[in-house]
């Protein structure tokens, strides 16, 4: 198996279609008739990059996708400083092959790619039961920290009543590491927009 990365909009169509099916299976729309068509799912302003774990099988086709995720990036201003920040989104593993380490391998690869990309920090939320999964792939929980998604006019916080989220992070740059305390037990205005309301 190999890991491939593409800007989301440039992912080869056969692979993009597989990723779309994985996402539809993991997060089916409330209205089954509103499934739409395969294609980009993220706001292009967030420069989405798709990372795919691809099983080449017999080597005669495009391969199959056991696991996929997207990395989104933006500029965050917090406690009076600006940071280049990235986050994981739509992390998914094919239902039939869960529990074999495919997702962990891909999340760890994304952690390394983000560290090498010049980002100041990685920052995202996950469901509380997945905290140990992400910790095992190099991420750190930020106890008491809340990410505020959406927009300043229509905020979408990670601590709203219907959610049970944990904020995960890694401080890549020296500047981010020096100011790590600013992110602990903090409310962080990420504001990625209306499409990716909370990554």
Q: What is the mean pLDDT of residues 82-109?
A: 95
- Taking residues 145-165, what's their average pLDDT? 96
Domains of the chain: 2-189 (3.40.630.30)
Characterize the bridge pairing of strands 155-157 and 146-150.
antiparallel
Per DSSP, the three-state class of 69 is: strand
Place of tokens 């593993």: 93
61 has pLDDT over 60: no
Q: What is the mean pLDDT of residues 167-195?
A: 97
Report pLDDT for 196. Answer: 94
Of 104, 181, 101, which is closest to residue 138 (Cα–Cα)? Answer: 104
Residue 103 has phi, psi (to 5 degrees) of -65, -40
Determine the pLDDT at residue 36: 64
What is the Cα–Cα distance from 86 to 124, expressed in whole angstroms?
8
Q: Per-residue pLDDT tens for 27-45?
A: 887 766 665 677 778 999 9
pTM (2 decimals)? Answer: 0.92
pLDDT of res. 138 = 92
Torsion angle in degrees (nearest 10) through CA of 90, 95, 96, 101: 50
The pLDDT value recorded for residue 199 is 87
CA end-to-end distance (rounded Å), the chain: 27
d(CA 89, CA 74): 13
pLDDT mean over 47-64: 80
In the chain, the percentage of residues whose pLDDT exceeds 90 is 83
Give every strand in the sheet of 81-93, ordered side by side: 2-7, 49-55, 64-78, 81-93, 121-127, 165-171, 140-141
């Amino acid at each position: 198996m190999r890991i491939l990365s593409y800007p989301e909009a440039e992912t080869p169509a056969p692979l993009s279609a597989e990723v779309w099916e994985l996402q539809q299976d993991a997060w089916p729309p409330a209205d089954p008739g509103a499934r739409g068509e395969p294609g980009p799912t993220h706001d292009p302003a967030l420069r989405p990059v798709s990372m795919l774990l691809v099983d080449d099988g017999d080597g005669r086709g495009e391969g199959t996708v056991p696991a996929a995720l997207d990395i989104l990036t933006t500029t965050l201003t917090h406690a009076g400083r600006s940071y280049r920040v990235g986050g994981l989104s739509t992390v998914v593993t094919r239902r039939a092959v869960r529990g074999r380490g495919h997702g962990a391998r891909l999340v760890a690869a994304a952690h390394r790619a983000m560290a090498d990309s010049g980002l100041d920090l990685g920052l995202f939320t996950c469901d509380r039961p997945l905290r140990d999964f992400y910790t095992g792939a190099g991420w750190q929980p930020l106890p008491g920290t809340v990410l505020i998604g959406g927009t300043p006019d229509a905020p979408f916080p990670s601590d709203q009543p219907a959610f049970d989220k944990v904020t995960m992070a890694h401080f890549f740059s020296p500047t981010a590491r020096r100011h790590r305390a600013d992110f602990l037990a903090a409310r962080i205005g990420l504001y990625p927009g209306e499409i990716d309301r909370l990554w």
